[in-house]
Amino acid sequence: MAGPLSSLKVLDFSTLLPGPFGTLILADLGADVLRVESPTRPDMVRMLPPMDQGISAVHGYLNRSKRSLALDLKRQEAVQVVHRLVQDYDIVVEQFRPGVMERLGVGYEALRAVNPRLIYCSITGYGQDGPYRDRAGHDLNYLAIAGVTSYNGRQGSGPAPMALQAADIAGGSCHAVMAILAAVIHRQQTGEGQHIDISMTDAAFSLHALTAPQALIGGDDPQLERTQLNGGSFYDCYETRDGRWFSVAGLEPQFFVQFCQAIGRPHLAGKGLAMAPEIVAELKAEIREAMKEKDFAEWQAIFTAVDACVEPVLSVSEAAQHPQLEARGMVVEVPAGDGVQRQVASPFKFSKTPPSYRFAGGQPGAHSEAVLAEAGFDEAAIEALRKSGAVL
């Protein structure tokens, strides 16, 4: 069954994580995503271990269901191929620094001249304008400038990197997908395409849902371990006797009461909403002491039977085997070469148009000939493109 986005055709010029994760979402939901890759400058993700049948498992996941066309955009013949493709593939995703696509002859204005309905999404660290538009950066830098890193970490050790790439994925990937789909709706209503400018720093800044109002209106900036959700309350992780951890998050009084009873400290129930540092310190010290009285498995048995918003801190491998994630089908087997590859599934659940997984990401240019033939190039033209070095 075709996915909900099966009418969309996307040219994906992106590499690394933000763009590819965004187009993975689109591909899982049925969009025809064609990766345009350089034959001379491979995506660094292709080199990340482990390798599965000669292909990086990370690449296989991020680029599943996407076909690959290897073009050397420094050759005019390759640029002409893009101009022909964009007549049909009317959504473009790119992740170069501002101006690079223009210099290659495949910028928004050049491609809009070919197809006025084009939706062209540019994902960058800082955006298409502003004093930082040409500055290099990574996820940690974007989160730092956006104010996120300032209250992520511990007072004793200072700000810390996040485990997940929040600016890249929550900022770049997810906001790009939302913007593209909004632009598709706009085009359906007006016939107009447009250029979308996604800054991962902007998007990260917009994620201060509970803290920006206090800072912007009251001048109260969040500090390390001083908000209710960053360690400034009992809402935190606690170690067991055998060195494992549990997350304790029952902020609501009815949940905290159950937690306190479960750990044998019912007298703590009235302190759950405390934010005074001295009271929080005493409360957390008692919780730490209680949690170290039993091993992980013992607490697991206790809290499985208690609805108190307390859950074990699992490794990725353990999470994949958790009964809830198993029931939701969050690990799937995707065709890959002569076998299959275990991958994280799409989190979207549709009653009529479920996600599909056609194949894992493969070799660069694996679909070049088929794609060019579909675009109207005959055998002689395809061979000429190969001989010129424009196509791999």
Q: What are 341's strand-pairing partners?
A: 334
DSSP 391: B
CA distances from 127 to 19, 137, 193, 254, 367 (A): 14, 12, 19, 45, 32
Tokens of 13: 């010029």
Q: What are 143's strand-pairing partners?
A: none
Catalytic residue among 43, 72, 168, 202: 168
Q: What are 159's strand-pairing partners?
A: 153
CA distances from 320 to 144, 231, 312, 315 (A): 31, 27, 14, 9
Q: How far apart are CA 344 and CA 214, in angstroms?
A: 37
Q: How far apart are CA 348 and CA 277, in angstroms?
A: 41
Q: Are 361 and 12 in contact (CB under 8 A)?
A: no
The single-letter code of the amino acid at 325 is L
Radius of gyration of the chain (CA): 25
> How many Cβ atoms sit within 10 Å of the Cβ of residue 244?
17
CA distances from 78 to 11, 41, 92, 164, 294 (A): 14, 15, 16, 36, 64
DSSP labels, 350-366 = -SSS---------STTT
Tokens of 11: 């040219």
138 has catalytic annotation: yes
Catalytic residue among 83, 138, 208, 322: 138
Phi, psi of 380 (to 5 degrees): -65, -40
The single-letter code of the amino acid at 141 is N
Query: Catalytic positions, please?
Result: 138, 168
